[in-house]
Homo-oligomer: A and B are copies of this chain.
Amino acid sequence: MTGALDALLALVVLIDEDMKTSLAREDLTVPRAHLLWHVHHHGPTTQRALADALRVTPRNITGLVDGLVASGHARRGPHPDDRRATLVSLTRRGATTMAAMDRAHQELARTLFADLPEGQFRAFVAGLAHVTDRVQAALAEAGG
């Protein structure tokens, strides 16, 4: 059974590599894309909310947003009701990049699963759910 686990871990490494190289082409890193993704799907967001959503410290968000502003993907704006807060939103470039990423995401899903026989696809999804459940249980038990 360790063979299946090894295959799963190898896939994890591959997907990580694939993400990193795709994102590098857009001048992005995984954490920055994650932030952009959140703003893309939730609209302009305070840095505090981003820190909670990405589960990193506020200080870290400052750094990520700095990078995204420098690369032209995001912009800081004032919060209408709270002068302490800043709202992070997408620039034209950021929006274009995210739209392309949505399309790439859908196409990747097709590439991965399109020619998998229907029954096998369903079994795979079920197995995935089972394994995810197990990992979550293990994490909870370990006190994560």
Contact = CB atoms under 8 A, between A and B. Distances in A.
A127 B5 CA distance: 13
A34 to B, nearest CB: 10
Contacts of A130: 112, 116, 120
A40 to B, nearest CB: 15
A104 to B, nearest CB: 10
Interface string A88-127: 0000000000000000011011111110100111011111
A77 to B, nearest CB: 30
Interface in A38-92: none
4 nearest A-B pairs in the assembled complex, by CB-CB distance: A124-B127, A123-B123, A5-B109, A1-B109
